[in-house]
Amino acid sequence: MKFSSERVETLPPYVFSQFHKRKKELEAEGLDIIDLGIGSPDLPTPEFIVDELVQEVYHANNHRYSPYQGSAEFRQAVADFYRSNYEVDLDPETEVLTLIGSKEGIANLITAVVNPSETVLVPDPGYPVYQSAIHLAGGKTALLPLIPEEDYKPNYQSLPQDILDKTKLMLLNYPSNPTAGTVNIDAFLEAVSLAKKHDIAIAHDAAYGLVTFDDYEAPSILQAPDAKDVAVEFGSLSKSFNMTGWRIGYVVGNRDIIQALSVVKSNTDTSQFLPIQKAAAKALRSDFSTVNDNNAVYEQRQDKVLCALKELGIEVKRPRGTFFIWAKVPDGFKSMEFSELMLEKAGVIITPGSVFGPSGEGYFRISLSVPSERLEEAIKRMKVLEGGV
């Protein structure tokens, strides 16, 4: 007897699990494996946020169900953040919704917007969760080509007309996982005008919106005029405030899309624990100095890794956002082969680019969200490999 549904059965296998199985085997042999595949910050949540949670958790009023759409206080904090950071006005009642992490929101959004067998455009290479969520919702995926030479901005010109005609929803993600690609506002102007012309909804995943370097500031898609006619933007405290385990995020923008999503959610969950929403509101109302401190740590790690890769003959442009390095594998290697070699010969896990889509072939991703000493040790081992690759 098989109890799992066809949709679950036909989900493509999770490639990371293969590496983790091998990691366990090697560790059982006593080897020390350094995992640069992890996409979750190693740094702790800032103390002022933890303190707020601890205080609020003692109030019995906070132990009840949250309103379905999230607490008014958190939604107001999101709206105020958009006003001060992006000069975008949002109605916290209709244009902001609290999420139990943006992953939840993105998965439920697809159910809320897409009918079975309708097409969703996803960036290639892109975050693999998009395709699984589309598959589970019964939708069809079409790949949105990106331009590596232009920091992975979308290549709309190469999309066939029939794909544009049947696309219901387009997912974008800048700063991008896995490519660390970033855009300026003109990429969003182009996306919005295309979406309006072809009746496409846009969901922009801004999980790394605050993880940026130097004087680059990642734009919000809602800064594009008329964006609210077609677009929503997902935000998360996971990466910017080191709060992955807390499960708190938000979606903002087009009220019809948000309304549809809130119907799915109110039948699925009852929002997040109130003390977590309160602590997250405090984070969004902070001066963002903790975010800047984090970014400075990532930047130092970036320097080290870029320098080491250069010595290995792998040139990479310094990314303006995310805690990822996206680099070409040495000539003659496939992504998977090179990643396997790294694990077997250096005891370092890197992520093969091919797991992020067909255009990821030929690349690998390194995550900088590991303690600096471990990163340095990984670099040392990679250099030992130098002769071999």
Task: Please tell me whether residue 236 binds ligand PLP under the rule CB under 6 A.
Answer: yes
Query: Is residue 71 within 8 Å of 98, Cβ to Cβ?
Result: yes
Among 70, 123, 181, 249, binds ligand PLP (CB under 6 A): 249
If the CB atoms of residues 141 and 238 are measured against ligand PLP, the closer one turns out to be 238
Query: Is residue 265 within 8 Å of 97, Cβ to Cβ?
Result: yes
Q: How many chain residues interact with ligand PLP (CB under 6 A)?
A: 14
Q: Which residues pair with 123 in a beta bridge?
A: 144
Task: Please tell me whether residue 127 binds ligand PLP under the rule CB under 6 A.
Answer: yes
Task: Please tell me whether residue 101 binds ligand PLP under the rule CB under 6 A.
Answer: yes
If the CB atoms of residues 302 and 379 are measured against ligand PLP, the closer one turns out to be 302
If the CB atoms of residues 35 and 346 are measured against ligand PLP, the closer one turns out to be 35
Report how far residue 353's alpha carbon sits from residue 125's, in angstroms, rounded to the nearest whole number: 8
- Judged by CB under 6 A, the stretch of 135-143, 209-217, 232-240, 293-301 that binds ligand PLP is 232-240
Task: Please tell me whether residue 233 binds ligand PLP under the rule CB under 6 A.
Answer: no
* Residues written for the chain: 389
Residue linked to tokens 């974008």: 172
Q: At what angle do helices 128-136 and 102-113 cross, to 10 degrees?
A: 40
Task: Please tell me whether residue 212 binds ligand PLP under the rule CB under 6 A.
Answer: no
Report how far residue 83's alpha carbon sits from residue 317's, in angstroms, rounded to the nearest whole number: 32
Closest-CA residue to 224 (of 193, 203, 259) = 193
Q: How far is the CB of 25 from ligand PLP (least distance, A)?
A: 27
If the CB atoms of residues 207 and 341 are measured against ligand PLP, the closer one turns out to be 207
Query: Is residue 359 within 8 Å of 124, Cβ to Cβ?
Result: yes
Query: Is residue 279 within 8 Å of 98, Cβ to Cβ?
Result: no
Among 33, 34, 39, 230, binds ligand PLP (CB under 6 A): 39
Within positions 144 to 173, which residues make up the interface with ligand PLP, using CB under 6 A? 173
- Residues with Cβ within 8 Å of 245's Cβ and at least 6 positions away in sequence, in order, are none
If the CB atoms of residues 178 and 347 are measured against ligand PLP, the closer one turns out to be 178
Within positions 167 to 206, which residues make up the interface with ligand PLP, using CB under 6 A? 173, 177, 205
Q: Which two tokens stand for residue 375?
A: 């990163």
Residues of this chain that interact with ligand PLP (CB under 6 A) are 39, 101-103, 127, 173, 177, 205, 207, 236, 238-239, 244, 249
